Amino acid sequence: MLEELQKLKKLQKCDAQIYQREEELDTLPEQNESLEKQIREMENKITELRNGVAIQEEERKKREEILSRGEDKLKGITGKQSAIRNKDEYNALLREIDNIKRFNKEIEEEISEVGREIDLKSQELNLVEQDNIKKVVECKHRLAENVKRMKTLESDIEKMYDERDKVAGAIRPAILRKYERIFESSKTGKAIAEVDNYICRGCNMTLPPQLYNNVLKSERIETCPNCQCILLPAENRKNDKKGPVIRETEEHPADDEE
Ligand SMILES: [Zn+2]
């Protein structure tokens, strides 16, 4: 039986490696989604601000065109002064000049107001760009690393399963089934624990002496009452020299005496 237990130990090593990688692999898609979301949000923020600036620039351009037409109109009307024939016409012309000037002034004020808004929005855009562009690069880098890591893990896991199947194939089916049942219900990916000086190394619980002796004898599969792991004697037992352990328990009536 000890030989079978040693095989289980080897199998446990394979399974632990697979388990660890599968756990890591499980966390990566969620991390990637979160990174992609961050990237999208940062890029959207930049686009939104750029659009904001572009709209304001468009507004400024429109007003500049209106102003330019207003200035042309003013020039044209000032040139008409020589054609004035009487005071009424003169007064009417002055009023029109005044109106155009007032209109042009309003447009000029609007242009500077839009200009101030463009400055503010451009400043915000610059700040966000400086900050976000760096972060987007970082996120994209992490995303690429994760994708690479996932591929490595997937290929490692595949190879490890091949190795695991070879190891498992050499174990007696009934023992393998028992091991697999324990492994599947385990929350830590452990199904085998070594025992040393009455202590289960899987959960650090002190085992009853009879159980401990049975484990040392390795005549059948014993499991830890606490962590359910299949128990096998530790290879480097500190306690081996202290023979009394076995004698002590042999005083109890054992149900499977040799
Ligand atoms: Zn235990």
> Tens digit of pLDDT for each residue in 220-249?
999 999 999 999 999 876 554 444 444 444
**Rounded to the nearest whole angstrom, what is the distance from the C-alpha of residue 224 to the centroid of ligand 1?**
5
**Rounded to the nearest whole angstrom, what is the distance from the C-alpha of residue 207 to the centroid of ligand 1?**
8
**Rounded to the nearest whole angstrom, what is the distance from the C-alpha of residue 247 to the centroid of ligand 1?**
23
**Rounded to the nearest whole angstrom, what is the distance from the C-alpha of residue 193 to the centroid of ligand 1?**
7
Predicted pLDDT of residue 239: 52
- Of the candidate CATH numbers 2.60.420, 2.60.40, 1.20.950, 1.10.287, the domain formed by 22-169 belongs to 1.10.287
Q: Across residues 8-31, what is the average pLDDT?
A: 94
Tokens coding 3: 């030989």
Predicted pLDDT of residue 188: 83
Question: How far apart are the C-alpha atoms of 235 and 11, rounded to whole Å?
Answer: 16
Do residues 50 and 118 make contact, with C-beta atoms less than 8 angstroms apart?
Answer: no
pTM: 0.68
**Rounded to the nearest whole angstrom, what is the distance from the C-alpha of residue 8 to the centroid of ligand 1?**
16
**Rounded to the nearest whole angstrom, what is the distance from the C-alpha of residue 38 to the centroid of ligand 1?**
44
90: left (phi over 0), alpha (psi -120 to 50) or beta: alpha
Question: How far apart are the C-alpha atoms of 22 and 113, rounded to whole Å?
Answer: 59
Mean pLDDT in the chain?
90
194 membership: H or E segment, kind and range: strand 192-196
Helix (H, G, I), strand (E, B) or coil at 253: coil
Q: Tell me the pairing of strands 199-200 and 230-233.
A: unpaired
* Listed range (3-7, 23-27, 49-53, 245-249) with the worst mean pLDDT: 245-249
Question: Domain locations in the chain?
Answer: 22-169, 173-250
**Rounded to the nearest whole angstrom, what is the distance from the C-alpha of residue 234 to the centroid of ligand 1?**
13
Predicted pLDDT of residue 253: 44
**Rounded to the nearest whole angstrom, what is the distance from the C-alpha of residue 112 to the centroid of ligand 1?**
78
